[in-house]
Structure 1
């Protein structure tokens, strides 16, 4: 990589880490909020869904803003806004305050993915390496966010913890003001002789581009229900794992678990939070394997295979919760499969979208995954509150099952 490539790659890696650190710190904070504010999982799931929905919904207009104001400006504003939102989270009172702060986080974070992907596409000559590093950084944030939050909550109250979490994003935003690079350095270096994107400057152009984009294949990929599974599973998994582990620890001798330590620190140590962070860390390997598969098999078959595994994993969670070793095993399988599917999904989106509107296609994709997918938090929260644990995982299995059926349609469509 040349100097410009390294600056852009480092800047986008930092932004990607921050976005997913905050995104996945929220489920850990929820375990504290459920106690502090004495609200139901259904209520808190809906509150959190507001921020997550805005995170997805904003991706579509965010892509248009990138073309108008540039990626560096949008990413810097994103970093600043996320830091400010977590500072606000530390100060606002009650559930209403949490809703407001998370809403601000969702709006500001939503612009990152279209801005970061556009910056790498237009500015980095060695795009493959940059996308690889960028994806790995995202998974570091996905795993590191819950782990860092869990560590902070051992000795600090949650309001102090979120202030500390806000600092890295604010510092990165300041660094973004001083770093310089050419956002379009690679435009003349791509193999096809130039940048294939088309800026959208009016509502009419947006409608025309969308009509061209909405082929049967693209729409089928777009409406896959994997966003509901992703958000529903990851939002309430810490709480569900906590329940499983509490039962196992209460019967420690029968389950082959060693003696549980005592003391003030041990009383704040929630093993479920670290198991959750661990399964997310496995996603780094999943991303890598999924990326390799995109070059070796048809992405539609890869998607169908991963979705089949997600159905099985959801159905196995409750039976596996009877033994610690099985619970860890199924959690590791979840972390691997959930993130191995992402590069396969991205490759499929690219296959069914025209090159000149690739940015818009990913805007719609993140809108569907993170915006519509945010309903998963509310639906699963309702199932947690009013149903059994088996109902929760049955609902998650149905999300993956519907997506699997759609993937089957896609395979037939492309035959």
Structure 2
């Protein structure tokens, strides 16, 4: 990577770190918040669900804005919005104040994935897989490091608010850094840009169409417009299957993160018999999730080395599905071994998946492509929480991991389908036709 590519990779990567940091704080301080506001777990669960839903839903308009106004410009806006929202959460008063501020935090956090990933996909050419791997690693660092920051904030300041204020202050510093940084071919943030629709970003490859059957898998230009009369919809069938995989893997992502501490507390003897099983289960979960750093890095690196990156998700889910079955059926050391291997392999999926999304969407539409992707992962995939709660209550947490093993088999089928339907496109003309009243 050249210096410009390195700069934007680290900017997007740190934005990924702090985004997952903001969205991982609540579980770590949940008990203290409910105690302070005399809230039930149902109340805090509803507030969290609203925030997470906005985290997914907002990715679609964020993707559109990234394509229209520029990825760096929109990403800077999102980083600043997250920082201010985190500060507001930290000083919020009452249940309603907390709920509204947390909803704003979820909405601003939704901006990162379509804006940050489209920035990498559009502007990194020489080592795109490596850049996506770095991006994934820093996001995983945010996931497993944030609970430690929250615990330290509680220990030294005796309040859950300290972590949100600290992250907010760090976010403001990073937003200033983003604002002052210059990235080649990317417009910088000016507030008037969001109100001047005529100043939309025009990418030099706006007329390119993603053709999955091409030698490189990259977008290929339309030839003279002869084959594209009017407004022609060109949609790779593989992209639809990738989006199906987004839902399925989003289910596994949210389900495994939510119920891993409960599973360990229930099925691992030295945790169950501990004086502080909740703390110990959380600590072991952090260690297990840290293995995902290796997977995330490898998942990005490998895509620059193989000719057919569609094969990699097939291999991954062929490994992940039996591992989830083993997690559902083992206890103690067997469970710890299988769930550690799951974390090691599963988190290689996201950089690989993002790489394929960038290949099957045209360059000027990367933002919208990633926006839809992350709405499906975080928004639709979040139903795992409700389904997992039902299965855990009626059958046990371990049975929910069996459900996720079945979901992984479905994800394997979708990954195989992505490769098999590579040559196929959906084409259709979009015409506005005025009805002839004289014909009545």
Q: Which category of TM-score, normalised to the shorter sequence, fits these structures?
A: 0.7 to 0.9
Deviation string, structure 1 residues 58-114 (Cα, Å, up to 9, x no partner): 222112212333333322221222222223333445665554333212211111122
* 2:171 equivalent to 1:148: no
Q: Does 1:240 align with 2:240?
A: no
Deviates more, 1:120-129 or 1:163-172: 120-129
- Listed one character per residue, the Cα deviations across residues 18-55 of structure 1 (whole Å, up to 9, x for unaligned) are 11222333333346557775635x76555423222222
Aligned pairs for 1:209-228 within 5 A: 211-213=233-235, 215-224=236-245, 225-228=248-251
Residue aligning to 2:312:
302
Say whether the 8 Å CA contact 1:43–1:381 is kept in structure 2. no
Q: Distance in 1 between matches of 2:46 and 2:252?
A: 16
**Are the equivalent residues in 1 in contact too, given 2:133–2:296 (CA < 8 A)?**
no
- The equivalent of 1:170 in structure 2 is 172
Per the TM alignment, residue 361 of structure 1 is displaced from its structure 2 partner at its CA by 2.2
Gapped regions of structure 2 (runs ≥ 5): 188-202, 209-230, 424-440
What SS is found at the alignment partner of 1:212? Answer: strand
- Specify the alignment match of 1:191 in structure 2: none
The 8 Å contact of residues 310 and 356 in structure 2, kept in 1 or not, is answered as yes
Q: Given that residues 275 and 328 in structure 1 are in contact (C-alpha distance below 8 angstroms), is that contact kept between their aligned partners in structure 2?
A: no
1:10-409, aligned counterparts within 5 Å?
A: 10-30=10-30, 39-40=40-41, 44-92=44-92, 97-123=97-123, 126=126, 128=128, 130-154=131-155, 156-184=158-186, 195-197=204-206, 211-213=233-235, 215-224=236-245, 225-245=248-268, 247-251=269-273, 270-294=279-303, 295-296=305-306, 298-320=308-330, 322-323=331-332, 325-409=333-417
Deviations 1:207-236 (A, max 9, x none): x68x423x3321112112111111122133
Evaluate the alpha carbon distance shift between residue 290 and residue 31 of structure 1 in structure 2; reply closer, same or farther with a 3 A threshold: farther
In 1, the alpha carbon distance for the partners of 2:50 and 2:103 equals 6
SS of the aligned residue for 1:223 comes to helix
CA distance in 2, matches of 1:153, 1:413: 52
Q: Is the 8 A contact 2:265 2:271 kept in 1?
A: no
Give the conservation status (yes or no) of the 8 Å contact 1:56–1:371: yes
For residues 231-288 of structure 1, give each alpha carbon's deviation from its aligned partner in whole angstroms, at most 9, with x where no partner exists: 122133234334445x534547xxxxxxx7xxxxxx6981222222222221121023
- Equivalent-residue separation in structure 1 for 2:317 and 2:35 (angstroms): 34
1:403 deviates by 1.9
Partners of 2:102 and 2:171 lie apart in 1 by 15
SS of residue in 1 equivalent to 2:255? helix
**Residues 1:316 and 1:38: Cα distance change in structure 2 (over 3 Å):** farther
* Structure label with greater radius of gyration: 2
Rate the CA distance shift 1:401–1:3 in 2: closer, same or farther, 3 A.
closer
Report the Cα distance in structure 2 between the residues aligned to 1:111 and 1:227, rounded to whole angstroms: 18
Distance in 1 (alpha carbons) for counterparts of 2:404 and 2:375? 20
Structure 2 distance, partners of 1:182, 1:24, is 32
Q: Taking structure 1 as reference, are residues 396 and 25 closer, same or farther at Cα in structure 2, changes over 3 Å only? A: farther
Alpha-carbon distance in 2 for matches of 1:145, 1:342: 20
Separation in structure 2 between the aligned mates of residue 30 and residue 379 of structure 1, nearest angstrom:
21
SS at structure 2 position matched to 1:270: helix
Q: Which is worse superposed, 171-180 or 26-35?
A: 26-35
C-alpha displacement of 1:382? 3.6
CA displacement at 1:172 relative to structure 2: 1.0
Moved more, 403-412 or 99-108: 403-412
TM-score by length of 1: 0.78
Q: Does the CA contact (< 8 Å) of 1:19 and 1:109 recur in 2?
A: yes
Looking at structure 2, the residues matched to 98 and 382 of structure 1 have their Cα atoms a distance apart, in angstroms, of 27
- Structure 2 distance, partners of 1:136, 1:92, is 32
In structure 1, how many angstroms separate the alpha carbons of the residues matched to 2:68 and 2:360?
26
Cα distance in structure 1, aligned partners of 2:392 and 2:33: 16
Distance 1:395 1:92 in 2: 39
- Structure number having the greater strand percentage: 2
Q: How many residues end up aligned between the 2 structures?
A: 381
